[in-house]
Amino acid sequence: MAWQEIQPFLVALAVGLLLGLERERSHSRKLPAGSRSFALLALVGAVAASIDPWAVTLGLAGVSALMTVAYFRVSGDDPGTTTALAALTAYVLGALAFSRPVLAVALAVIVAGLLVSKTRIHRFARDIVSEVELEDAIKFLAVAFVILPLLPDRALGPYGVLNPAKVWLLVVLLTGIGWLGYIGVRALGPERGLLITGLAGGFISATATTASMGRLSRTTGSVRAPLASALLASLATFVQLLIVIGLIDIDVLRRLWLPVAAAAIVLIGVAAFVYWRAGRDGDGTADGACGIGAPASRPFALRPALILAAVLTFALLLGRWGGDVLGPQGTILAAFAAGLADAHAGAVAAASLAARGDVTADTALLAIAAALGSNLLVKTILAFVAGGRRFGLRFIAGMAPPAVVFGLVLTAAISMH
């Protein structure tokens, strides 16, 4: 007998044993099925799959009836339904192992992980996740998996600049990144300090985070810790920019990543220096004593993403019109104007025009630089308004080195092509 012939049945036995052993180890009371029963159920599934698809269906019905009887026989001990469902899963995975053994093993490991994590999952559902977070999670899933598939994926409107599916994909991406930032702060807690808060808040809105840190510097009397947090919020802008541009035009990304990476490295160094000075001098609350919590009151920030989508659509239209009227300079001016509202809007609009062939990659790079520059101007103004002259001047000093490095490396990247 060849190895290929017996492999599916051995895999089925292993899958059944894995699930059965987990069930026996996690329960001291009598169960409707133990490790041997699980192994046999998975093996029966593989045998049924080797005979006929209808045999799998009949076998599933038989296993369901058998588990129902076994469940009621031990119902006085309250065995729960998880073991019965796990037994049915073992049978199905055994049947799957006959044709796709690798997938069966992978799914068995996932199922075993879910079973082992019972206490953690229950604690997460009951004690950690709030009703607001659960509600927002459902909204995000609806935005990503209900609305997005329904939108047309074709060019519409003047100049054909509006693609509803791609615009909404940007909404999904930005809200998803905001979710990740919120989860990071939620999991690590505010005691980890303002750095995490600033970085995570920057994924939601670097401009708003800069203003928040400026206000915080006024109320606490410290500058360096909130300043380091504001600088890392701008780092989040760089990360988001590379992700979004990479989804739109890989050619622009190839020429943009080096300037962005160089500026990001310098920005990290400046933020680390500022924060180190804060800890050494005792300036600020490096351990989060300021009472800063999550980066946003709710994890799902749909309204800012919708505003960004509207700004993006307008920037695309303005950039295309400006390109027709003023040439490349029009696209750059349009990106600068869009960057006043959001850096990503102008940058994404320029990359989208380059991907369509409406502008060159060089023009797109200059437009992205213009969008980042105008957005930095807005953040600087907010730093002065919210944090005062002291915070604003230090924010300029912190952002100047990465801005200069970005400009120099970008100039070199453009001149080399």
Domain end call among 124, 141, 158? 124
Contact 295, 201 (CB under 8 A): yes
Q: Check whether residue 106 and residue 186 sit in a common domain.
A: no
Q: Check whether residue 114 and residue 205 sit in a common domain.
A: no
The residues near 205 (Cβ < 8 Å, ≥ 6 apart) are 301, 304
Q: Which residues in the chain land under pLDDT 50?
A: 190-191, 284-296
- Closest of 164, 177, 288 to residue 226, by C-alpha: 288
Dist CA 282 CA 119 (whole Å): 41
What's residue 12's pLDDT? 92
Domain end call among 124, 147, 176? 124
Q: Check whether residue 141 and residue 41 sit in a common domain.
A: no
Q: Check whether residue 366 and residue 288 sit in a common domain.
A: yes
Angle at 217 between CA 389 and CA 385, to 5 degrees: 40
Dist CA 59 CA 46 (whole Å): 10
Q: Check whether residue 226 and residue 355 sit in a common domain.
A: yes
Dist CA 138 CA 327 (whole Å): 45
Q: Check whether residue 293 and residue 330 sit in a common domain.
A: yes
Length of the chain measured in residues: 417
> Could you list the residue range(s) of the whole structural domain that residue 212 is in?
131-415
Q: What is the pLDDT of residues 309-360, one digit of tens each?
A: 676 667 667 656 765 676 667 778 878 877 776 777 778 888 888 888 878 8
Q: What is the pLDDT of residues 100-149, one digit of tens each?
A: 999 999 999 999 998 888 888 777 777 767 777 778 788 888 888 898 89
State the total domains in the chain.
2
Q: Check whether residue 56 and residue 172 sit in a common domain.
A: no
Domain end call among 109, 124, 139? 124
Q: Check whether residue 29 and residue 153 sit in a common domain.
A: no
Dist CA 82 CA 171 (whole Å): 38
What's residue 30's pLDDT? 57
Rounded to two decimals, the pTM is 0.54
Dist CA 178 CA 137 (whole Å): 12
SS3 52: coil
Contact 332, 371 (CB under 8 A): no
Q: Check whether residue 135 and residue 117 sit in a common domain.
A: no
